[in-house]
Structure 1
Amino acid sequence: MDIYSTEEQQAEAIKRFFRENGLSLALGVIVGLGGLYGWKAYNQHQITTAEQTSDAYTTLVSSDNVLASADSFLSEHKDSNYATLAAFVAAKDAVEENKLDVASEKLSWIVANNDNTELTAIAITRLARIQIAQQQFDDALTTLEATLPEAFAANVAELKGDIYTQQGNKQQARVAYQAAVDAGGLTSNPLLQVKLDDLAISSPAA
């Protein structure tokens, strides 16, 4: 806008501007307010949905039989973080009830539906433990071939050592346990050294 020399010229210019652009300005205000209220409504919907999901999760994990309602919860809330947490709880309860197939199913669900790398890694290592308990050694080794964060290297190596030990392959077990030690596994599991020592090669008598 030009710089006007008198207040009268400025006032007249402002009037003319509103006469020429008043309708578009009004529409702009209406659209802007509509967008504002629409955004607020969207946010409120998100908050309400999150609160409802949180309440449903609390009800689920507080119930006496999580497994009976877990599948329904996962189906209804599969896009929420609560679904992953519910699947972990269901898997834990399944293991305690010795329903290892059910636990495996819930952990596999997490691997397939969760986007968090750390939670997926936890699910994968727990799934491998269940497969080891079921003596599904080849399946467990395949599960552990997944690309996991470096922080899980010791855990993965130790699990592989457990598999090779149960298969009677002491040499590979020793290599795997040593890899777990080298990756810092003793920090979280001092018993790892015991596993490695049990596989120590005896020196021939002099």
Structure 2
Amino acid sequence: METYRSEEEQVEALKRWWDENGRSTVIGIALALVGVFGWQGWQEYSQGQRDAASDIYQQLLQAAGGAAQSPAQQGVAERLAQRLKDEYAGSTYAQFAGLQLARLAVADGDLEQAESELRAVLADASSGGDVALVARQRLARVVAARGETDAALALLDVSGSHPYQASYALARGDILFGEGRRADALGAYQLARQLESESPGQLNLASLERKLARLSPVSPEAPEPAPTAAEVEQ
């Protein structure tokens, strides 16, 4: 009888607990399940979005690669880039698309459009991240080409170390050379070579050596080679 009474008491206690806490417990479990399945659904959706954006970007790269030879391909590249910016705004792929649109604009000689695209990328990209650093360097070259040398050099003045220091020094040298500041340009090129030796893979060393040779002191018997347009633009 004692065992039976104890079991009855346990059942009664369970009933009282359920009356007091059962509804909130069920709601809590339901909310937890919704959270779990909702998170899984969101993860699947996000992955699907990334995969779709990646596919469009690969098509964009292919079209952009043939844009120089085919106006039709350039049109395709521009449409795909704009689609990425519209449908995947805020994503890294949208920022990549902006970089590609800027490159196509430079090829067309539309520096104003190129600057607009690069400033938009710079505004959206994480400060100090790879995309922002690449956009800043390209923007500096575009701004310099528009005749705003001081603004261009200011864009390249980034504090702290980063993976693009050698290419930043090279860009600074090119901008200074374009302004006729030969000694300053030489110093920038020398710094670029030093930084490249410390972290190889950023620069075309053959091109850099030609620029250094062009600005290094030469004997009167050895005339200084005239720069090519391609070298100045690098």
TM-score by length of 2: 0.69
Q: Distance in 2 between matches of 1:58 and 1:160?
A: 35
* SS at 1:184 equivalent: helix
1:189 counterpart residue number: 204
Could you tell me whether the CA contact under 8 Å between 1:170 and 1:199 is conserved in 2?
A: yes
Could you tell me whether the CA contact under 8 Å between 2:172 and 2:188 is conserved in 1?
A: yes
Could you tell me whether the CA contact under 8 Å between 2:169 and 2:188 is conserved in 1?
A: yes
Relative distance call for 1:203 and 1:93 in structure 2 (3 A) is closer
Report the more deviating stretch, 15-24 or 73-82: 73-82
- Picking from 8, 11, 15, the partner of 1:15 is 11
Could you tell me whether the CA contact under 8 Å between 1:67 and 1:94 is conserved in 2?
A: no
The one-letter amino acid of 2:85's match is L
**Matches for 1:36-185 after TM superposition, within 5 Å:** 36-45=33-42, 47-48=44-45, 51-52=48-49, 55=52, 58=55, 61=60, 64-67=75-78, 73-74=84-85, 77-115=88-126, 117-147=129-159, 149-184=161-196
Relative distance call for 1:14 and 1:66 in structure 2 (3 A) is farther
**Which ranges of structure 1 fall in alignment gaps of 5 or more residues?**
1-5
Q: Distance in 1 between matches of 2:9 and 2:121?
A: 65
- Cα displacement string for residues 11-51 of structure 1 (whole angstroms, at most 9, x for unaligned residues): 44542432221131342133222232144235424543653
- Aligned residue pairs total 200
RMSD: 3.3
Relative distance call for 1:201 and 1:56 in structure 2 (3 A) is closer
Q: Distance in 2 between matches of 1:28 and 1:181?
A: 67
1:25 counterpart residue number: 22
How far the C-alpha of 1:65 sits from its partner, in A, is: 4.1
- Cα displacement string for residues 145-185 of structure 1 (whole angstroms, at most 9, x for unaligned residues): 23464221111111111111111111111111111111126
How far the C-alpha of 1:114 sits from its partner, in A, is: 1.1
**Which ranges of structure 2 fall in alignment gaps of 5 or more residues?**
64-72, 222-234
How far the C-alpha of 1:94 sits from its partner, in A, is: 2.0
Could you tell me whether the CA contact under 8 Å between 1:121 and 1:148 is conserved in 2?
A: no
Q: Distance in 2 between matches of 1:13 and 1:96?
A: 85
How far the C-alpha of 1:82 sits from its partner, in A, is: 2.4
Could you tell me whether the CA contact under 8 Å between 1:177 and 1:192 is conserved in 2?
A: yes
Relative distance call for 1:47 and 1:102 in structure 2 (3 A) is farther
